[in-house]
Amino acid sequence: MINIPFLIGAVSDQKAIDSFSPTLRFYYLLTDSPSISNWLLWITITALTIVVYKLGFAKKLPLLKSAIIYTFLIAGCLFLTFLAIFLPITEGLMVAALILIIYKIRLHRERKSGAI
């Protein structure tokens, strides 16, 4: 049987803590509670996913269609949170958001100067 200590109760094994992704390890050491750190990880992933979606892919849609898209986006973040326990999903989303922010700033400057 697989022992997953962070889902059952408090993580006492340092080896398990070291196998966490950097973001989850930070949240766990900050709160010392597995459930709170998992919720913080989910909130972080959801917020970063929304930022990346808005900066890179969002178009003007009617309210109901936007609500459906965001509902599925939030539900998909649950799956990403399970992957982010051991994989650097959050860090990848941070890099993607940073690249898209830089792109939008440069695009705005070029439009303002009249190059586009």
Query: What's residue 89's pLDDT?
Result: 92
Does pLDDT of 103 surpass 80? yes
* Residue 60 included in any domain: yes
* Residue 97 included in any domain: yes
* Residue 11 included in any domain: no
* Residue 91 included in any domain: yes
For 105-115, b where at least 16 C-beta lie within 10 A, e where not — what string? eeeeeeeeeee
* Residue 17 included in any domain: no
Does pLDDT of 58 surpass 60? yes
With tokens 């900050």, the residue in question is: 30
* Residue 70 included in any domain: yes
Number of independent structural domains in the chain: 1
38 burial class (0-12, 13-18, 19+ CB within 10 angstroms)?
Answer: buried
pTM for the model stands at 0.80
Helices and strands, number each (H, E), in the chain: 6, 0
Residue 111 CA to residue 91 CA, distance in Å, equals: 30
- Summarize pLDDT for 10-46 with one digit per residue, the tens: 555 677 777 788 888 888 888 878 888 889 999 999 9
Alpha-carbon distances of 19 from 3, 10, 73, rounded to whole Å: 14, 15, 27
Query: Residue 90 sits in which domain range?
Result: 38-116
* Residue 13 included in any domain: no
Q: What are phi and psi of 88, to 5 degrees?
A: -80, 60
Q: Going by C-beta distance under 8 Å and a sequence separation of 6 or more, which residues neighbour residue 78?
A: 42
- Summarize pLDDT for 66-98 with one digit per residue, the tens: 999 999 999 999 999 999 888 899 999 999 999
* Residue 75 included in any domain: yes
